[in-house]
Amino acid sequence: MAEPGITLEHRGKHSCLAKWTVPYNPELQPEKMIYSPWFEMGDFEFRSVIVPGSDALALALALGPDAFFSLQVRINSPRYSFRFGPLASYKLSILNHEDESKSLTKAFKFTLFTRNTNIPTGGSLQLASSVFGPRSGFFKKGSLHCSIEISILDESFSFSFSRDGNNDTEMVDYSAHSLSCDTIVLAGKFKWKIKNFSFFKEMIETRQQMSSAVFLLGRGFAHISASTTKVNGVECLSLFLEANEMHTCPKCMGHNKPSWCLFRISVLSQKAWRSHMHKDSYGRLNKTTPALGWNDYMKISDLIGPNNGFVMNNTVEFTVSFKAIKDSAAVLTSGFKKFGAFNKSGSCTWKIENFTRLKDILKNEKMMGVSVESSKFQVEDHEFRLIVFPRGQYQKPIYLSMIIEASGPQDATQDWSCFARCRLSVVNKKNKDNSIFTETQGRFSEAAKRWGWPEFLTLATLFNKGSGRV
């Protein structure tokens, strides 16, 4: 079969109409897929694919017993290793030469192309064999005339980062290079620039949310998510820092762990005399809290207002800057029998590296009441976590505050409870006998799931040189 040809009508860098003429005999169904040549748009390559009805897998999964073939579009994204593909709107068509009103079309709005399968999550133009009669008008000189009208989001990304959290930074251009998966990033700034904002605005008003490319945060992966939400009847832009759990590289399956961080999400004003929009928060991204941010980050009217400069020349820029901690937890559990009953015990040793840096960051930012949570650990059916306040929980920054928090089993009702005895310590690494600890016992419940000590240890004692505690 002759190599099919394709012609392009570009409508800017990120929109085009691709017309594909493919020799095709409706009476002799091909047994293999037919591919058009690749064509470029933006930083991606696309092509059309005809999947014949004789493809047993296609028949079983998508087309049905009366299917003849389906028309699909596929993607190649060699320049993006942290990206799962672009968001696109496209329309697939097969021209009827005798009556254009009978041409077959199917439109897909705001569809995500996946990196692993190179096909959109939407679907294809599926055609039954009954459509193609000898006088159907779809064949001309033994060829089908197919077209793809496609537009994609015009976006770019940059990432400056520090591996150790110091001010020295490295820059990654996402269009040309990516960080190794096992890199640990303790400070960074990620920028998401969108150059066809009108298309983006239509997307976030139609889809549930939009996501940026993925970047490394601490030991894990994250992205910015954007959507629109009505808050008290006012249309608002929602912006979140969100954990990305779709990264499935075998090299780093055990590496993708949530990290605690301080972060700032910004919308940049492109007018020199106008102020950027900033909001700050902190926390640990995990299964319980997969996203941190704001449903009411800002009003849409403020975002698109011409005087603010957030949208200029149909362009908008989002950034997220963060400072993360490097920590680890060693958990041991065991069981013992006492008074005829089997009891479970456990211990968690939580190590926060460079704790002085965290304290200094909070001091420089004049932040008080900031808590840092450990990852959760399990003892029997209950989960626990430690929470520390490096500059105190309530009062002036004099004390280190500590809390232990419990949560019930996954299927627990609101009246769950468990009796526990616990001991919290700040370990002296020089001499464990000089560790500072407190012990207590009681019953955790939904109403009393946190036990805390606001004045666990003075900061002067904690940071005393030579004490062995830091």
Residues in contact with 43: Cβ distance below 8 Å, sequence separation at least 6, in sequence order: 77, 79, 80, 175
Window from 14-18, 169-173, 306-310, 462-466 with minimum mean pLDDT:
169-173
Q: What's the token pair of residue 447?
A: 């109403």
Whether 162 has a pLDDT exceeding 60, the answer reads yes
pLDDT tens-digit profile of 332-361?
877 654 544 556 788 889 999 888 888 888
CATH 3.40.50.300 corresponds to the domain 327-462: no
Q: Do 369 and 394 touch, CB atoms closer than 8 A?
A: yes
The pLDDT of residue 424: 92
pTM: 0.80
41: nearest Cα among 71, 9, 5: 9
Domains 5-152 and 327-462 share a fold: yes
Residues in contact with 18: Cβ distance below 8 Å, sequence separation at least 6, in sequence order: 6, 7, 8, 9, 36, 39, 46, 48, 147, 148, 149, 150
The pLDDT of residue 118: 53
The pLDDT of residue 50: 81
Q: Domain 155-324, what architecture? A: Sandwich (2.60)
| Averaged pLDDT, 33-51 | 84
pLDDT tens-digit profile of 255-270?
456 689 999 999 999 9
The pLDDT of residue 351: 92
pLDDT bracket for residue 205 (50, 70, 90): confident
Structural domain boundaries in the chain: 5-152, 155-324, 327-462
Q: Domain 5-152, what architecture? A: Sandwich (2.60)
| Averaged pLDDT, 27-52 | 78
What's the CA dihedral at 171, 175, 179, 181 to 10 degrees? 150
The pLDDT of residue 415: 82
pLDDT tens-digit profile of 108-156?
887 777 655 455 545 677 766 556 666 778 877 778 888 999 988 888 8
Residue 454 sits at the vertex; the CA angle it makes with 453 and 459, to the nearest 5 degrees, is 110
| Averaged pLDDT, 407-431 | 85
Rounded Cα–Cα distance for residues 154 and 324 (Å): 30
| Averaged pLDDT, 53-62 | 44
Rounded Cα–Cα distance for residues 137 and 98 (Å): 5
Task: Compute CA distances 367 → 180, 189, 265, 371, 415, whole Å.
Answer: 33, 20, 17, 10, 36
Rounded Cα–Cα distance for residues 323 and 164 (Å): 10
pLDDT bracket for residue 236 (50, 70, 90): very high
Q: What is the mean pLDDT of the chain?
A: 80
Whether 47 has a pLDDT exceeding 90, the answer reads no
